């Protein structure tokens, strides 16, 4: 039986790259994203690897969407990998925190923090059964304190702490949790963060492929609780 992975934000950019890597490794995939057309195109492309690719378009912060994804996992009876990649930037250009609309910030936290936690809570029985791995996608904005990045950065800092705490709480169950800063990349979200600017000097998301190959070859419990940078030259395991 193939391993099963669920990826959010999987229709393009980094999510699609990770999904393609997993498809090539013969994972069966459950993919979700807001854009149905892009999601269908991605599924068609990745189906060529021979594994099963199931899709469900929708907002991952919606409880009904999370329940539907959990039902899809239950139908397959296992979950080896959960990649919480979906996130939103918020307003663009991003305002300073002193004038950041709190209603918008609530939406950013709903997608970037509460949705990943909600999926972990719903999918935990299958993750425990498979002694699976949760990968939460973070950002350098979580630690940089960059002016104008406070809303998005605060959500990613919260996700980092959530990841570490879950790793400590779930270790006894065999479930591992890590957070990954993928680095600057040439994606639609990154372009939205710099409206009108030329970001052609940023690498494409494929630059992270060596990291994913390395990460998924590790003993997950040995790396659980760690925060990685996918564009670093050396990846060390703390034993």
Are 22 and 5 contacting, i.e. CB atoms less than 8 angstroms apart? yes
Number of other CB atoms surrounding residue 220 within 10 Å: 20
Are 166 and 123 contacting, i.e. CB atoms less than 8 angstroms apart? no
Catalytic residue set: 152
49-56 contact pairs (CB < 8 A, 24+): 49/23, 49/24, 50/26, 51/2, 51/23, 51/26, 51/27, 52/2, 52/28, 53/23, 53/28, 53/29, 54/28, 54/29, 54/30, 55/30, 55/31, 56/30, 56/31, 56/32
CA 61-67-72 angle, 5° bins: 120
Q: Is the dihedral of CA 60, 159, 228, 184 positive or negative?
A: positive
């Amino acid at each position: 039986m193939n391993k099963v992975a669920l990826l959010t934000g999987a229709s393009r950019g980094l999510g699609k790259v990770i999904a393609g890597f997993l498809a090539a490794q013969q994972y069966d995939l459950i993919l979700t994203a807001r854009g149905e057309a892009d999601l269908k195109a991605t599924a068609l492309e990745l189906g060529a690897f021979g594994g099963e690719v199931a899709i469900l378009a929708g907002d991952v912060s919606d409880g009904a969407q999370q329940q539907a994804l959990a039902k899809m996992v239950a139908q397959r009876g296992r979950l080896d990998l959960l990649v919480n990649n979906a996130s939103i930037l918020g307003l663009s250009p991003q305002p300073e925190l002193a004038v950041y609309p709190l209603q918008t910030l609530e939406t950013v936290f709903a997608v970037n923090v509460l949705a990943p936690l909600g999926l972990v809570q719903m999918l935990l029985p299958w993750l425990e059964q498979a002694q699976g791995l949760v990968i939460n996608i973070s950002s350098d904005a979580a630690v940089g304190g960059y002016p104008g990045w406070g809303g998005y950065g605060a959500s990613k800092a919260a996700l980092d702490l959530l990841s570490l705490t879950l790793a400590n709480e779930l270790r006894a169950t065999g479930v591992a949790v890590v957070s990954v800063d993928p680095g600057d990349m040439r994606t639609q979200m990154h372009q939205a963060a710099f409206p009108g600017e030329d970001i052609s000097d940023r690498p494409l998301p494929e630059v992270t492929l060596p990291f994913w190959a390395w990460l998924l070859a590790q003993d997950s419990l040995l790396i659980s609780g760690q925060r990685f940078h996918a564009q670093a030259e050396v990846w060390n395991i703390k034993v």
